[in-house]
């Protein structure tokens, strides 16, 4: 729910600029502290500087090689996990990413290596990041393959019967939760593909109300002009039937008694609109609070009392 509504901390660029500057300075005097390279890379990535973020990982690799056995399992895991994420973000930002998948391949290799080192790091985020990257790679590699017009089902591995999908309910929910983690911990908040996937997964296992919220978030993103990688993907669950002209496997066609009533859809839409306004108001207040201190040279990393005076506003609760 928090991932769909945007109710998670999103920091202003100055937050990352200050952290990056500090990491640059500290890495010069404490070059053996490998976490500095991770923090510097993440800060650069959050500022949209993918090449600089990758350079931080190259610097970390050199330090790890010099340290030999002193470099820990966690050091290696974070190196590969961050490197893969940075390459993925660089690939996504390309004007036509599927024409040149070199960065995607590098991302897949690095995330695979991270999973070999520690499959459960970052609350298993890399597992679902890997699923998503493989899905992108499979779609781009086989644009005319059977099922390519139904990439939603392919992501969840259920492009045939609904019975098979329902038997894998926990796996589908796990993939939705993993995607939500990419939203709150990564850079997927503005990705229509991710929210369309979440919509599909939740709808398939009967979570119709929350699926509707995810669909509304996807439509909100598309209204800003952003496009999904796969424009054939329907955003609104109401379009997931063959009578709407969308190519869907028979097993994934909705039954009329499995959808929200018009009253419930209206109530859900009203909640979404009010909750999004409240969340963005909270985000604006939080950013203003942070900027008032960041501009004075204070930062949460270095000032223990940074959040003193901040009061978390109330957010509307989803109706039963």
Locate all alpha helices (DSSP H) within 157-207, ordered by sequence. 162-167, 169-185, 192-204
CA torsion, ordered 110, 111, 115, 117, to nearest 10 deg = 30
Residue-wise pLDDT tens digits, 78-92: 999 999 999 999 998
Backbone angles phi, psi at 138, to 5 degrees: -65, -45
pLDDT the model gives residue 193: 85
pLDDT the model gives residue 187: 78
Residues of the chain with pLDDT under 50: 143-149, 159-163, 237, 240-257
Nearest to 179 by CA among 197, 159, 154, 165: 197
126 within 8 A of 114, measured Cβ to Cβ: yes
pLDDT the model gives residue 297: 97
Instruction: Name, in order, each residue with C-beta under 8 angstroms of 137's C-beta and a sequence gap of 6 or more.
Output: 101, 104, 105, 108
Q: Tokens 């109706």: give the residue.
A: 319
Q: Tokens 């909705």: give the residue.
A: 254
Length of the chain: 320
213 within 8 A of 195, measured Cβ to Cβ: no
Q: Tokens 């993939």: give the residue.
A: 175
pLDDT the model gives residue 238: 52
H or E stretch at 286:
helix 262-294
pLDDT the model gives residue 240: 46
Residue-wise pLDDT tens digits, 11-32: 999 999 999 999 999 998 878 8
DSSP string over 145-165: STTTT-HHHHHTT-SS-HHHH
Distance CA 239, CA 253 (A): 10
Distance CA 209, CA 219 (A): 15
292 within 8 A of 268, measured Cβ to Cβ: no
pLDDT the model gives residue 69: 85
Q: What sign for the dihedral angle of Cα 73, 74, 75, 79?
A: positive
Q: Tokens 């399992």: give the residue.
A: 73
């Amino acid at each position: 729910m928090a991932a769909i509504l945007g109710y998670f901390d999103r920091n202003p660029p100055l937050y990352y600029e200050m952290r990056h500057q500090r990491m640059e300075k500290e890495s010069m005097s404490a070059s053996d502290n490998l976490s500095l390279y991770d923090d510097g890379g993440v800060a650069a990535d959050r500022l949209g500087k993918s090449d600089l973020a990758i350079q931080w990982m190259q610097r970390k690799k050199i330090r790890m090689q010099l340290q030999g056995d002193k470099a820990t399992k966690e050091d290696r895991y974070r190196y590969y996990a961050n490197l893969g994420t940075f390459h993925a973000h660089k690939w996504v930002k390309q004007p036509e990413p599927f024409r040149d998948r070199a960065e995607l391949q590098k991302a897949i290799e690095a995330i695979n290596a991270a999973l070999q080192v520690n499959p459960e790091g970052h609350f298993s985020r890399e597992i679902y990041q890997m699923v998503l990257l493989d899905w992108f790679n499979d779609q781009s590699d086989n644009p005319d393959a059977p099922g390519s017009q139904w990439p939603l089902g392919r992501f969840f591995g259920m492009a045939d019967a609904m019975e098979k999908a329902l038997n894998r309910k926990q796996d589908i929910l796990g993939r939705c939760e993993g995607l939500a983690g990419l939203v709150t911990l990564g850079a997927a908040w503005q990705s229509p593909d991710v929210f369309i996937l979440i919509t599909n997964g939740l709808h398939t296992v009967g979570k119709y109300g929350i699926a509707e919220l995810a669909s509304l978030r996807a439509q909100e993103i598309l209204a800003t002009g952003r496009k999904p990688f796969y424009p054939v993907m329907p955003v609104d669950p109401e379009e997931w039937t063959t009578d709407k002209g969308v190519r869907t496997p028979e097993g994934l066609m909705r039954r009329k008694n499995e959808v929200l009533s018009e009253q419930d859809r209206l109530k859900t839409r009203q909640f979404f609109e009010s909750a999004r306004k409240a969340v963005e108001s909270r985000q604006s207040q939080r950013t203003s609070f942070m900027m008032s201190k960041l501009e004075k040279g204070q930062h949460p990393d270095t000032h223990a009392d940074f959040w003193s005076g901040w009061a978390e506003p109330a957010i509307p609760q989803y109706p039963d």
